[in-house]
Amino acid sequence: MLLTRRHADPGDRLVPAVANDNDDHFYAAIDIAFTALAPEERALLHAKYLETTDVRALAAKPTLSEKAVESRLTRARAALREHLLAGLARHE
């Protein structure tokens, strides 16, 4: 049996590393990046992180598997990270 170690999402480390430099600029960039996401991605991230809905409950709503929800969350976080980094790069 091959076991692999699961690493935390690199995006999880992004907020503390950047937020200390200029909070107002950073939070404005998050807002812009969040609104640039597709509506489904926004809804999923909002439910998971702002409403603290667990993956099992998220999977029950649109009748998706938990794995499908996790995959969609991964893609949504990646899209948010791309939009955020692009926005921050434009304002440096």
**How does pLDDT run across 28-77, given as a tens digit for each residue?**
888 899 999 999 999 999 999 999 999 999 998 778 899 999 999 999 99
Q: What angle do CA 39, 47, 37 make, to 5 degrees?
A: 25
- Structural domain contains residue 17: no
- Structural domain contains residue 14: no
Domain around 89 = 39-92
CATH of the domain at 73: 1.10.10
Closest CA to 19 of 9, 6, 28, 32: 28
Q: How confident is the model at residue 92 (pLDDT cuts 50, 70, 90)?
A: low
CA 68/CA 60 separation, integer angstroms:
11
The total number of structural domains in the chain stands at 1
Q: pTM of this prediction? A: 0.70
Q: End-to-end alpha-carbon separation of the chain, Å?
A: 48
> Do 37 and 76 touch, CB atoms closer than 8 A?
yes
